[in-house]
Structure 1
Amino acid sequence: MSKRPRPSLSAAAIIDSCLELLDTEGANALTFRRIGGHLGADPTALYRHFRNKDELLLAVADRLLEESIEGFEPTGDWRHTLRTLAVRHRKVYLAHPHAAVLAAIRVTRRPAEMRVIEIILAALGEAGFAPDEAVRHYRALADFVLAWSCMDATYRTLDERMRQKDQSAWADAYAAVPAASYPHLAAAAPYLVAVDNEASFLFALDLMLDAVAAQAPSPS
Structure 2
Amino acid sequence: MEPRTGKRADSGRPRPSPSSRLIVEACLALMDAEGADALTFRGIGAQLGADPTALYRHFRNQDDLLLAVADHLLEEGLEGFEPSDDWRQTLRGLFIRMHKVYLSHPRAAVLATVRITRRPAEMRMIELTLTALSDAGFPPEQAVRHYRALVNFLLARSCMDATYRTLDAHTRRGDESAWSGEYAAVPAETHPHIAAAAPYLASVDDDADFDFALDLMLDAIAARAPGKG
Q: Flag as ranges the 4+ runs of structure 1 deviating above 6 A.
A: none
Cα offset, 1:2, TM superposition: 3.3
- Does 2:191 correspond to 1:182? yes
Residue 167 of structure 1 is matched in structure 2 by 176
If the length of structure 1 is used for normalisation, what is the TM-score? Answer: 0.97
SS at match of 1:184: helix
Residue identity in the other structure for 1:15: V
Counterpart in 1 of 2:47? 38
Partner residue in 2 for 1:16: 25
State the shift of 1:114 in Å. Answer: 0.4
- Give the conservation status (yes or no) of the 8 Å contact 2:17–2:50: no
Whether 2:96 is the aligned partner of 1:92: answer no
Of residues 120, 125, 133, the one that matches 1:116 is 125
Q: State how far apart, in whole Å, the 2-side matches of 1:50 and 1:219 are.
A: 45
Partner in structure 2 of residue 135 of structure 1:
144
> What's the counterpart of residue 51 of structure 1?
60
RMSD between aligned residues: 1.1
Q: Output the amino acid matched with 2:65.
A: L
What is the distance in 1 between the residues matched to 2:17 and 2:65?
Answer: 17
1:4 shift after superposition: 4.0
1:62 to 65, 71, 78: 71
Q: Distance in 2 between matches of 1:10 and 1:143?
A: 32
Amino acid at match of 1:176: A
Q: How big is each residue's C-alpha offset from its partner over 1:40-64, in whole Å with a ceiling of 9 and x where there is no partner?
A: 1111111111111110000000001
1: CA distance, partners of 2:84 / 2:217: 20
User: One-letter code of the match for 1:167?
Assistant: E
Cα distance, 1:98 vs structure 2: 0.6
Maintained 8 Å contact 2:77/2:97? yes
- Report the AA paired with residue 127 of structure 1: A
**2:207 aligns to what?**
198
DSSP-derived class of the 1:51 partner: coil
Partners of 1:46 and 1:125 in 2: CA distance: 40
The CA distance in 1 between the partners of 2:196 and 2:80, in whole Å, is: 46
> Number of matched residues?
220
Alpha-carbon distance in 2 for matches of 1:8, 1:44: 10
Letter of the structure 2 residue corresponding to residue 213 of structure 1? A
C-alpha offsets along residues 26-48 of structure 1, whole Å, 9 cap, x if unaligned?
A: 11111111111111111111111
Matched, 1:150 2:182: no
Deviates more, 1:83-92 or 1:144-153: 144-153
What is the letter of the counterpart of residue 93 of structure 1? Y
Distance (whole Å) between structure 1 residues aligned to residue 113 and residue 102 of structure 2: 9
Gaps of 5+ in 2: 1-9
Cα shift at 1:187: 1.4
Which residue does 2:7 correspond to in 1?
A: none
Give the Cα–Cα distance (whole angstroms) in 1 for the partners of residues 144 and 102 of structure 2.
23
* 1:154-204 CA-partner distances (Å, limit 9, x unpaired): 111111111111111111111111222211111111110111111111111
